[in-house]
Amino acid sequence: MRLPIAGEIVEWDLILQVIYVALGAGVAVTIAVSFAILGATRAADARRDGDTIDTVIYGGLFLLGLGACLAAVVLGIVVMTSKD
Amino acid sequence: MEGDVILVIVVGTALAFDFTNGFHDTANVVATSISTRAMAPRVAVGYAAILNFVGAFLSLAVAATVASGIVEADLVTPTVVFAGLVGAISWNLITWYYGLPSSSSHALIGGVVGSAFVAEGADAVLGEGLLGKVAVPALVAPVLAFTTAAIAILFAYRIIGRQSPGTVNRGFRVGQIALAHGTNDAQKTMGVITLALIAHGDLAGGSDPPTWVIVTSATAIALGTYVGGWRIIRTMGSRIIKMDTAQGFAAQGSGAAVILAASHVGFPLSTTHTISGAVMGAGAAKRVSAVRWGVAGNIVIAWVLTIPAAAVVGGGIYAIVSVFGEDSAVGPIIVSAIGLTLSAWAFARRLRRGPTLTTAEA
């Protein structure tokens, strides 16, 4: 008896949407920055050791992580400014 | 004439609430950045003040009249709003005094619910709205932020592994600065003032807030933010967990993701509940005992008490004010004078005892 009433009052579909979007975005941003940091650290080490291939690979990882993080920031600004 | 005086008092009280909202909730924006030394304390609150000022202009939806759908709109008078605002301000000041992060939106809802209840009886309060718009989001926000931050920090530790701490700390600090954000909490005040202007006949129903309302609300919240609720910043930044830079980033990133996702679909979540939950999650994932559960428990108790406590004060204030007559300005004038005196005394006392936070303390 209580569930249908709660179902009418609480917008479960919105809650579910918030849960998966927030979980995905929050974890993804942290992973992106972590990879950017890992890439920057390893690329610096590789350059110091004169390892060109690793420098390029880890430099690419750094750029990829950085790009993903910047994209998330831009998306966040767009979401904020388009809220009505 | 009486109506004009009440309107002026309601506008002044709403701006006072906005100011307390600013300094009370500064921690939501800056606590992680300060405690992980991503930014110096004064720079962080200055930055947050600017972002909160800008945030007030980003979205002007007066849907931020937070009590809509929770109390019968037709029964809300300027006096009810005044009593509700006093209830909210009182709870904000009490929790600030004890350094407890609690939701300013919930305090406002509680205050208005209490005053509407005393003014018009139980029929004025919409139970379904309280459940759907307040109770359920209050449960979802901290749990979701806790889980998101916990998963995020586990991935972060796994990826960065045994990299040089110096580079890792620098990286996460820069990341936190990139994720620094403001809020658009000033909307609540704009909504309250706009409703008062509509009720007074100065604006047509459904009007957008006039420019002076937007500018004064933005200024009040920015000033409040810059003053900084240092006690709450200290609680959120270093008393719940001793935060490292990765945890600070995970908490801030996860909190921002939860708030933005909720904001995008129009699901009302408390910023305070979200960021506090994220900080606890980032700590507990590293080590459950890393979280000072006594502090966390006090915070949760404050969350549970926010609406009833603000409601009791709001209802009590309405009862006092209505003794002088529902449309009389005498009650609001007396309550405002007493409130201002008590607030000035509490501020002076706390400012004498509590120095502002330094980076080293954080």
Contact yes or no for A33 and B160 at CB 8 A: no
The answer to whether B260 contacts A9, with C-beta atoms less than 8 Å apart, is: no
Contacts with B172 from chain A: Cβ below 8 Å: 33, 37
Q: Which residue of B has its CA nearest to A25?
A: B257
3-state secondary structure (DSSP) of residue B155: helix
User: What is the average per-residue pLDDT within B126-147?
Assistant: 88
Choose the mutation target among A21, A27, A47, A73 for the interface with B, i.e. most B CBs under 10 Å: A27
**In angstroms, rounded to a whole number, what is the distance separating the alpha carbons of residues B114 and B122?**
10
The answer to whether position A50 is within a domain reads yes
* Residue A36 included in any domain: yes
Q: How far apart are the CA of A38 and the nearest CA of chain B, in angstroms?
A: 6
Question: What is the three-class DSSP state of B60?
Answer: coil
Query: Measured between CA atoms, how close is A68 to chain B, in angstroms?
Result: 12
Question: Which single residue is written with the structure tokens 């709001």?
Answer: B314
> Which range, of B22-36, B108-122, B268-282, averages the lowest pLDDT?
B22-36
Identify from A80, A81, A82, A83 which residue to disrupt to test chain B contact, counting B C-beta atoms within 10 A and taking the largest count: A80
- Interface with A, mutate which of B159, B172, B176, B286 (most A CBs under 10 A): B159
Closest Cβ opposite residue A41 in set B164, B250, B253: B164
The answer to whether residue A11 sits within a structural domain is: no
Q: Element (H or E) spanning B223, and its range?
A: helix B211-227
User: Does A82 map to a domain?
Assistant: no
The pLDDT value recorded for residue B167 is: 82
ipTM of the complex: 0.87
Domain with A57 in it? 26-73
When pLDDT is averaged across residues B209-215 and rounded to a whole number, the result is: 90
Distance of residue A43 Cα from the nearest chain B Cα, in angstroms: 12
Q: Which two tokens stand for residue A78?
A: 């767009």
B174 HSE (CA, 13 A, CB side): 12
> Do residue A34 and residue B156 have CB atoms under 8 angstroms apart?
yes
Tokens found for residue B297:
């428990």
pLDDT at B361 over 50: no
Residue A2 lies in a domain: no
How confident is the model at residue B354, as a pLDDT?
Answer: 57
High-pLDDT (> 70) share of chain B, %: 92
Which residue of chain A is at minimal alpha-carbon distance from B174? A33
Nearest Cα residue to B77 out of B15, B20, B110, B124 = B124
Any B CB within 8 A of A58 CB: no
The minimum CA-CA distance between A21 and chain B, rounded to whole Å, is 6
Question: pLDDT of B96-133, one tens digit each?
Answer: 888 899 999 899 999 999 999 999 998 888 888 888 87
A34 inside 8 A of chain B by CB = yes
Q: Alpha helix (H) ranges present in B98-185?
A: 104-120, 127-129, 136-160, 165-178
pLDDT band at B321 (very low <50, low <70, confident <90, very high): very high
Confidence of residue A2 (pLDDT cuts 50, 70, 90): very low
Q: In Å, how far from its chain's centre is CA B88?
A: 10
Compute the average pLDDT of residues B279-304.
92
- CA torsion sign for B194, B56, B139, B302 is negative
Tokens of B359: 């980076």
> Read out DSSP for B267-317?
----HHHHHHHHHHHHHHHH-GGGS-HHHHHHHHHHHHHHHHHHHHHHHHH
The domain tally of chain A equals 1
